[in-house]
Amino acid sequence: MICPSCGATLNDDAQFCTSCGARLASSPEEMKAPEQDAAKMSVVCPQCGTPRSGSENFCTNCGAPLPVNTAEMQVPVNDRPEAVQMMDAPRPEAAQIAQMQEAPRPNAAPMFAEPSSPVQPNLSTAPANLKDFVQHFAADKTKKSMRNNGYFLYGLAALNLVFALIVGNLPLDALILAALGYWYQKTYSHKCSIVFLVYSILSIIVTFLATGSIGGWLILIVAILMFSGTMKAQKALEEYQKTGQPPVL
């Protein structure tokens, strides 16, 4: 008889192997189930029959080497790492890959879509005059500059009034400058700046004809600056009324 566990030659009437201690089959039915005997041997010690308490390789009672537990070596598919499961997954055939590559792709939407119709400004909320427009959209520096122009007109009106009272003339220039200052302060009107520019030019001409000298250059410079500032603001207002886009002042 040959031991099915270690291959040692034994007597025909032997029930246990004298080499490894394994129990031998005594009937044909037991010989047909070597896998069951191997499973039992992996659970108990083949030398003394002590049950295995865990995954130890030697018996805790007699120190004999224990056979490998084949049940512990079989790992279920679901317990394997995810990367291994992905490798075992069926791969698409070449025909499927070609079909996916030839499939039409949806047209991507444009990043910046142009409006179908031009923007219409909301004229119901449009500024009533140039002053309201400047106060809403202009920078602080522009607001301060245009506000100082009105103060300058009032200052000129006060100086002309004092000079007329001293000389005894009619304060006509003082009245004109005061009216321009009030007009400009209320609306920042571009027409007001045009009138003030014409007034400063006529003042220089009258002074030259009366005294033969040219004076009033400071007033002319201020009038030119006032005219250029209001003209720029007026163009921005007209552009805003057409497009509805806030300008940069």
SS3 65: strand
Per DSSP, helices labelled H in the chain are 28-31, 34-43, 70-73, 82-88, 94-102, 130-137, 140-167, 172-187, 190-211, 217-243
Eight-state DSSP code of residue 132: H
- Which pLDDT score is estimated for 76? 47
SS3 28: helix
- Residue partners of 7: CB distance under 8 A and separation at least 6: none
This prediction's pTM: 0.47
Q: Which residues pair with 16 in a beta bridge?
A: 23
Residue 194: Cβ-neighbour burial (10 angstroms; 0-12, 13-18, 19+): middle
- Which pLDDT score is estimated for 196? 93
Task: Round to whole Å and give the CA distance between 48 and 66.
Answer: 11
Quote the Cα angle for 220-232-177, to 5°.
35
- Which pLDDT score is estimated for 68? 67
Tokens of 14: 């032997």
Task: Round to whole Å and give the CA distance between 4 and 67.
Answer: 13
Per-residue pLDDT of the chain (249 residues; tens, 9 = 90+): 778 777 778 777 777 787 787 777 655 555 544 445 545 555 677 778 777 776 777 787 887 787 765 544 444 445 455 544 555 555 656 566 666 666 666 555 455 444 444 444 454 556 778 888 888 888 888 889 889 988 989 998 999 899 889 988 888 889 999 999 999 999 999 999 999 999 999 988 988 888 888 877 888 888 998 999 899 988 888 888 888 777 777
